[in-house]
């Protein structure tokens, strides 16, 4: 395993982040593993050197945080031995204040997350999306207070427009509040719109990039086929992916297969190695429900693609409408 600073912050993380959305309650998604099934996968990650784990309150309606907290407590001798991230924004109840980024919800949500996780702080507390109904000044001040209270060490953001992220950072800097150290955005070979504004902004400002869906929800691994066919349980039941990616995107999948044929390596390794080499990418968030998923991610760390291979992978790209901001 390799280790790297998260942007220009002082926080060191493993080069791969294990996404804990895959663990929780199968009642939420058919492909989610319960705690017993998740335990060996998480143990494999820890034994491979992964120290960075990302979850959110909304995953399995809080069950992911419960499972994450219990598993990590068993696998690490000390709380300081791992980096724990969670997120706030999406509804966690039916009340009008059970969602969003108001001061009321943030303060309630961080306490609820810490209780489920069984810890007294998270290392990275992230806003899961932009809240169009709450002034960003209110949100940034509340996040600053969360850090000052010792409930989070750093704060991060997730998918939004670059102007929104820049505005939030400027408000924090102007007021002497805590700034975001990371951006968790939708970024992979199929969806590269983040290269237009967000990633250059993060690169310029020293913000770490921790992409979600680095394999396009399995599209880049070959789990989906032109015309809507699927070859895995997740592909069959992940209806979000069907809305995000279209048949034209399989031109990228074909390009991956071209490189795979020459390298005789799994497509996941090729797609991840491309992403790991992108500017400002700190740690892709890996979803793993099988041991091979982790094996492929670890192997990708050791692969260096040639300029010709990168050109082959990138050539079929087509512009996309914004995906993942809402």
Reduced to 3 states (helix: H, G, I; strand: E, B; else coil), residue 173 is helix
CB of 152 within 8 A of CB of 186?
Answer: no
Lookup: tokens for 268: 């996941």
CB of 231 within 8 A of CB of 222?
Answer: yes
The residue assigned the tokens 């094996």 is 295
Closest C-alpha among 78, 82, 77 to residue 20: 82
CB of 166 within 8 A of CB of 197?
Answer: no
- Calpha distance 261→270 (Å, rounded): 11
Active site amino acids: 59
- 46 phi and psi angles, rounded to 5 deg: -65, -45
CB of 190 within 8 A of CB of 249?
Answer: yes
CB of 260 within 8 A of CB of 229?
Answer: no
DSSP calls for 103-129: HHHHHHHHHHHHHHHTSS-EEEEEESS
């Amino acid at each position: 395993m390799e280790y790297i600073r998260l942007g220009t912050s002082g926080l060191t993380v493993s080069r791969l982040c294990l996404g804990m959305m895959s663990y929780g309650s199968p009642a939420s998604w058919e492909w989610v593993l319960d705690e017993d099934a998740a335990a060996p996968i998480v143990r494999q990650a820890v034994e491979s050197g992964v120290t960075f784990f990302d979850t959110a309150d909304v995953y399995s309606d809080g069950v992911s945080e419960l499972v994450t907290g219990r598993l990590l407590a068993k696998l690490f001798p000390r709380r300081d031995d791992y980096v724990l991230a969670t997120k706030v924004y999406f509804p966690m109840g039916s009340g009008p204040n059970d969602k969003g980024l108001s001061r009321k919800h943030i303060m309630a949500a961080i306490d609820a997350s810490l209780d489920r996780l069984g810890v007294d702080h998270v290392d990275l507390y992230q806003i899961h999306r932009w809240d169009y109904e709450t002034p960003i000044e209110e949100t940034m001040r509340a996040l600053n207070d969360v850090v000052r209270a010792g409930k989070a060490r750093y704060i991060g953001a997730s998918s939004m427009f670059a102007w929104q992220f820049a505005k939030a950072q400027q408000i924090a800097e102007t007021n002497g509040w805590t700034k975001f150290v990371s951006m968790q955005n939708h970024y992979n070979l199929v969806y590269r719109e983040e290269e237009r504004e967000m990633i250059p902004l993060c690169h310029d400002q020293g913000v770490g990039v921790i992409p979600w869906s680095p394999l396009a929800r399995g599209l880049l691994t070959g789990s989906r086929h032109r015309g809507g066919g699927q070859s895995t349980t997740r592909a069959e039941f992940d209806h979000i992916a069907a809305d995000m990616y279209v048949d034209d995107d399989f031109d990228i999948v074909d390009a991956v297969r071209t490189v795979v044929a020459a390298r005789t390596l799994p497509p996941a390794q090729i797609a991840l190695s491309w992403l790991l080499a992108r500017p400002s990418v700190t740690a892709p968030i890996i979803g793993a429900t099988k041991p091979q998923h982790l094996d492929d991610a670890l192997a990708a760390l050791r692969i260096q693609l040639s300029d010709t291979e990168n050109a082959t992978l990138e050539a079929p790209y087509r512009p996309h409408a914004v995906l993942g901001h809402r």
